[in-house]
Amino acid sequence: MGVTCVCQVPILEGKSVQQTVDMLHKKLEQLGAVKQGSFFVDCETYHATSNASGKKRQPSKLLYVMHNSETPLSCLALFEGGPYLTADVNFDVLMVKLKSHFQNAKGHKVESRGTRYRYCDFLVKVGTVTMSSSARGISVEVEYCACVVPGDCWNLMKEFMQSFLGSNVPELPSVFAAKPEGLYAPVDCMDTMVQYLELFSKVRKQQVIPGASVR
């Protein structure tokens, strides 16, 4: 588990989602990256029902339950802005049991699926973000496996990302910006998931791209 950066790549003018993804693949392969299986990240949304929020009628937070194929035995539950929870896969079963407190928002399931590329110490995952079977955008996750301190390798990652993303290189993700400077603060999988969550909520809010269904 290294430092990861998740960003959204805008769809090129006049191209479909799939074409843009293919172009990214091509660029990566030209760089010398090797295809290494596939990956997926999914996210389900749960509303807290009224009896969960107690007597005071607070504006209830949404609970997101996410899975990442990188950590196949884990299930991650996040509230927006925290707290975050890492559990094993039985958590899904637990959520079914908690039906009376948390209701699954069926239509809100977002997932990103795609191919995994390895380029030396870098792991690049290009995925298509889909929401209720319509493609909404492209996610690119870059992981530098050789380092766990974001500050130490951010410039290197940025340079690497420039080589295939061009001008779409993101800024230092906000999760890392919050980390204390100078101290040893290693990343964990939750940083990646928070970034994915931010990306997904951005995708959820944006308008449906006309005519951009999956293939």
Partner 1 sequence: MSGGPAVRVSIESSCEKQVQEVSLDGTETYVPPLSMSQNLAKLAQRIDFSQGSDSDEEGTEAESRELEWTKQEQEEDEGTVKFQPSLWPWDSVRNNLRSALTEMCVLHDVLSIVKEKKYMALDPVSQDPAVTKTPQVFQLISKKKSLATAAQILLKGAEKLSKSVAENQENRRQRDFNSELLRLRSQWKLRKVGDKILGDLSYRSAGSLFPHQGTFEVIKNTDIDLDKKIPEDHCPLNVQIPSDLEGSAYIKVSIQKQAPDIGDLGTVNLFRRQPKTKPGSQAWHLKLEAAQNVLLCKEIFAQLSREAVQIKSQIPHIVVKNQIISQPFPGLQLSISLCHSTGEKKNQRASPEKTKPDDHLYVLEHNLHQLIREFHKQTLSSVVMPHPASAPFGHKRLRLAGPMAYDKAEINALQQSEGLLEKIIKQAKHIFLRSRTARTIDSLASRIEDPQIQAHWSNINDVYESSVKVLITSQGYEQICKSIQLQLNIGVEQIRVVHRDGRVITLSHQEQELQDFLLSQMSQHQIHAVQQLAKVMGWHVLSFSNHVGHGPIESIGNASAITVASPNGEYAISVRNGPESGCKVLVQFPRSQAKDLPKSDVVQDAKWNYLRGLYKEVHWSRMEGKNFVYKMELLMAALTPCP
Smallest distance, partner 1 to C-beta of residue 71, A: 4
CB of 22 to partner 1, least distance (A): 26
Q: Does 98 engage in binding with partner 1 (CB under 8 A)?
A: no
From candidates 62, 98, 169, 190, binder to partner 1 by CB under 8 A: 190
70 binds partner 1 (CB under 8 A): yes
Residue 205 neighbours by CB under 8 Å, 6+ apart: none
Q: Does 191 bind partner 1 (CB under 8 A)?
A: no
Q: Which residue carries 């080589």 as its tokens?
A: 163
Q: Mask 100-139, x = binds partner 1 (CB under 8 A)?
A: ----------------------------------------
* Rounded Cα–Cα distance for residues 111 and 197 (Å): 10
Helix (H, G, I), strand (E, B) or coil at 148: coil
CB count within 10 Å of CB 209 equals 14
Which string of DSSP letters, residue by residue, matches 55-119?
Answer: SS---PPEEEEEEETTSTTEEEEEETTS-EEEEETTHHHHHHHTTTTEEEEEEEEEEEEEEEEEE
Verify binding: residue 90, partner 1, rule CB under 8 A. yes
The residue count for binding partner 1 (CB under 8 A) is: 17
With CB under 8 A as the contact rule, the residue among 6, 63, 65, 76 that binds partner 1 is 76
Check residue 87 for interaction with partner 1 (CB under 8 A): yes
185 binds partner 1 (CB under 8 A): no
Q: Does 86 bind partner 1 (CB under 8 A)?
A: yes
User: What is the rounded CA–CA span in Å between residue 60 and residue 45?
Assistant: 13
Q: Of residues 12, 89, 146, 214, which one binds partner 1 by CB under 8 A?
A: 89
Check residue 51 and report its DSSP letter: T
User: 148 is written with which tokens?
Assistant: 């766990």
Q: Is 83 in the site for partner 1 (CB under 8 A)?
A: no
Name the site residues for partner 1 (rule: CB under 8 A).
Answer: 1, 70-76, 86-90, 93, 188-190
